């Protein structure tokens, strides 16, 4: 009896559709299954749905929803992968090679022709910008913001002149990558009135990170002459 009911149930499920075939045989099988008082061996199917509400799609609704969710999830994952690949291709094949800047001449902040001293560390604003390909350098802030991840070369030259040998020549500057010190130059003496120092580094910079020359708190740069102090950089090659 159980095997016969199972066969009837399976046949009823297979035959369930929008256009139910009206036949005496099918009706007999349906009535037999519906009137059965035991548990029908329908597996994952809803027997009540299959034999009482055949015109609906409830028999496969749960499976269909699960399949839809899985398909959408896979499509989102594929789309994210394509977007990341597109960004990487754009960085490697776009106009990223056209990225370079040169800034010079420090803007003096007080009446004694000096920049500083300050109570905190301050980025040095080189405000004469003859070259700024890619617009990565901000002359107002004195900061370069990397638009691409890659290896960059940065150079700076710092000049200071306090006017007389008995005045204290007292400066300390750092080349900074965000909060990391990349290079330093300093002078602290009374024997000479002027000094100049230069540094060049090659460093990997991530997109959005900032590079700048910073004057240490309590120090100052004086007696600036056109072209004596400068800050420049360029992209060697991008990376992903």
State the pLDDT at residue 164.
79
Strands, DSSP E only, in the chain?
A: 100-106, 114-115, 122-123, 126-133, 137-138, 143-145, 150-161, 169-177, 180-189, 194-205, 210-215, 221-222, 230-238
CA angle 114–117–119, rounded 5-degree value: 155
Burial 213-228 (b: 16+ CB within 10 A, else e): bbbbeebbbbbbeeeb
- Determine the topology of domain 100-238 in CATH: Jelly Rolls (2.60.120)
State the pLDDT at residue 72.
86
79, two tokens: 């789309």
CA angle 36–40–43, rounded 5-degree value: 165
Strands, DSSP E only, in 19-108?
A: 100-106
Q: How many residues are given for the chain?
A: 240
State the pLDDT at residue 33.
65
The whole-angstrom separation of Cα 229 and Cα 240 is 33
pLDDT along the chain (240 residues), means of 10: 49 49 63 66 61 56 73 85 73 67 84 85 94 94 94 96 83 95 90 89 96 95 87 92
State the pLDDT at residue 18.
46
User: Residues spanned by CATH 2.60.120.40 within the chain?
Assistant: 100-238
State the pLDDT at residue 189.
83
Write a three-state SS string for 160-208: EECCCCCCCEEEEEEEEECCEEEEEEEEEECCCCEEEEEEEEEEEECCC
- Is the link from the previous residue into 230 a cis peptide, with omega within 30 of 0? no
Distances (CA, A) of 151 to 148, 181, 236: 9, 17, 6
């Amino acid at each position: 009896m159980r095997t016969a009911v199972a066969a009837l149930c399976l046949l009823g499920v297979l035959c369930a559709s929008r256009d139910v075939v009206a036949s005496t045989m099918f009706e007999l099988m349906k009535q037999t299954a519906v009137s059965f008082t035991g548990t029908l061996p329908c597996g994952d199917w809803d027997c009540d749905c299959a034999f009482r509400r055949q015109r609906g799609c409830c028999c496969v609704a749960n499976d269909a929803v699960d399949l839809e969710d899985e398909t959408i999830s896979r499509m989102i994952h594929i789309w994210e992968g394509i977007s990341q690949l597109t960004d990487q291709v754009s960085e490697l094949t776009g106009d990223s090679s056209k990225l370079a800047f040169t800034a010079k001449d420090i803007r003096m902040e007080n009446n004694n022709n000096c920049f500083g001293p300050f109570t905190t560390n301050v980025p040095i604003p080189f405000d004469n910008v003859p070259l700024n390909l890619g617009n990565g350098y901000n002359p107002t802030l004195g900061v370069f913001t990397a638009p691409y991840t890659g290896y960059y070369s940065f150079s700076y030259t710092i000049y200071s002149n306090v006017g007389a040998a008995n005045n204290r020549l007292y400066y300390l500057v750092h080349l900074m990558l965000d909060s990391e010190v990349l290079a330093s130059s300093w002078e602290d003496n009374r024997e000479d009135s002027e000094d100049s120092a230069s540094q060049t580094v090659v460093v990997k910079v991530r997109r959005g990170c900032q590079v700048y020359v910073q004057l240490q708190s309590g120090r100052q740069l004086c007696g600036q002459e056109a072209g004596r102090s400068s800050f420049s950089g360029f992209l060697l090659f991008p990376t992903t």
